[in-house]
Structure 1
Amino acid sequence: MMVVTFVTSIPAWFLYAPVRDNPDSITGAGADPTTSVALGALLEVILIVANVGTAVVPYAIFRRYSQGLALSYVAARLVEGMFIAIGLVSLLAFLFVRQEGAATDPALGGVFVAIYERAFQIGPGIFAGVANGMILGSLMYRSGLVPRGLALVAVIGGPLVTASGIAGMVGIVERGSALQGLATIPEFVWELSFGIYLIVKGFKPSPIPAGADDGAAREVPPRSAP
């Protein structure tokens, strides 16, 4: 499921470009962006489902190592998905207003695009680092379900993404700057590597700590991957 988040989120960003780069088109001017935005919206609906699935499906496994971290991961992914949905609805509303010919002020398009961009900033821009980096990375390092060297990439990358997202939100750095791009590299490597690792090898056998879940020291089957 982690790989699904890649193959849906990245194309959606580019498919939204006709609206994101030309908010004045809400008045009906220029090429019709309906097909492009509608396809991007469909991909993001799949993305939301995959985001939630990456936390809910393996929850029974994760809670054996830390119920607090497992619950926190589910909550963070739900918050991220909520902000993705807000951005998605904003751009669909843009299309509706354009198709109805209800917009006479091009500034209205800028409002819808601004809502999308701010929702993206908080959701994927901040909470992805919290969920997939800090929480999931800590859980994987603690459990040993994946190589700890790989989990360390998440532990480093998550705070970098979150810090750069907050810095962009409050205006310390320019949104979409090269600095923000560099900060996302470790998180990008972690998420892609984690998804591929689970497809190829699955979780490593790892003893459950005494006192976790029902207290029995067991091993997680190596193919128990989300």
Structure 2
Amino acid sequence: MSTDAGAAAHAGTAVNAERRTAVVAGVLFLVTEVAAIAGAALYRPLLGGGPGADNRALIGALCELVLVAAVAGTGVTLFPVVKRWGEGLALGYLCARLLEAAVILLGIVAVLALTTVRREAAQPGATAADAALVAVHDWTFLVGPNIILGLNTALLAWLMYRSRLVPRPIAVLGLVGGPLICASAAAVMFGLYAQLSVPGSLAALPVFAWEVALAVRLIVRGFGRTRGSD
């Protein structure tokens, strides 16, 4: 009886730990969305050469530092859970998530450097240094939160689809959204349309819906395997 009670207590502890992991991962996904939107909105005037945008850009950079931590956090938090359904794929997701965070960080450094250049410039207006730093940011924004994001979205969505840790319609959103945002990034690279445009926004919508749906599911219900998942 004591052995059975100990096993039950151990199982209960494991379930509670997994539930906490799901909540933490869900909260981190929501933080990535809020921080990314806030950061882009705050520093966009600086990239356009608008006057008096430095302070807002600094706040935006702080938001994106939170984004970097949350992006890395989702990878680290989910890795121990999803590796049971494919350790290689799970490791790939973790590495891609960390790479995405690193690329975003490079873009933040470009924004911070741009604020310094603008403050120290003798004359207002765009300079060659301004243009170079804006270009660095724009390319990191395309490579990190688009191409690499599409890759890690597809990896995690496949692991979720395979394991049924979340309902399959949620996983399908990621399986569609990941490749779609990668294809959109390629279209932007070849000049078919601007990244911040109607086609670019529509291509990013499935990934946004995937992350929000995944976050809400993890916070409200946690991980839960459904019938037929084995």
Per the normalisation by structure 2, the TM-score is 0.81
**Whose relative contact order is higher, 1 or 2, with alpha carbons under 8 Å and at least 6 apart?**
2
Q: Is this contact kept in 2: 1:19–1:113, CA < 8 A?
A: no
Distance 1:45 1:173 in 2: 28
Q: Is this contact kept in 1: 2:46–2:54, CA < 8 A?
A: no
Displacement of 1:175 in angstroms is 2.9
Q: Is this contact kept in 1: 2:165–2:223, CA < 8 A?
A: yes
Displacement of 1:103 in angstroms is 7.1
Distance 1:166 1:119 in 2: 14
Match of 2:37 in 1: 10
Distance 1:187 1:86 in 2: 22
Distance 1:197 1:63 in 2: 20
Report matched runs for 1:113-128 at 5 Å.
113-128=134-149
Q: Structure 2: which amino acid aligns with 1:8?
A: A
The one of 120, 125, 130 aligned to 1:100: 120
Distance 2:223 2:38 in 1: 28
Match of 1:217 in 2: none
Distance 1:145 1:175 in 2: 33
Cα root mean square deviation, aligned:
2.0
Match of 2:106 in 1: 86
Displacement of 1:205 in angstroms is 3.8
Q: Is this contact kept in 2: 1:73–1:135, CA < 8 A?
A: yes
Match of 1:57 in 2: 77
How many residues align? The count is 201
Matched, 1:171 2:191: yes
Matched, 1:43 2:63: yes
Displacement of 1:98 in angstroms is 2.3
Distance 2:158 2:83 in 1: 13
- Per-residue Cα deviation, 1:53-88 (whole angstroms, up to 9, x for no partner): 101112111111110111010111111111101110
Q: 1:41 to 1:180 in 2, by over 3 A?
A: same
Per the normalisation by structure 1, the TM-score is 0.83
Distance 2:44 2:194 in 1: 19
Displacement of 1:177 in angstroms is 2.7
Displacement of 1:174 in angstroms is 3.3
Deviating runs (4+, > 6 A) in structure 1? 102-105
Work out the percentage of aligned pairs sharing the same amino acid: 37
Displacement of 1:107 in angstroms is 2.8
SS of residue paired to 1:16: helix
Report matched runs for 1:150-169 at 5 Å.
150-169=170-189
Match of 2:214 in 1: 194
SS of residue paired to 2:84: coil
Match of 1:220 in 2: none
Where structure 1 has 5 or more consecutive residues not aligned to the other structure, the ranges are 211-226
* Segment drifting more, 10-19 vs 106-115: 106-115
Where structure 2 has 5 or more consecutive residues not aligned to the other structure, the ranges are 1-27
Displacement of 1:102 in angstroms is 6.3
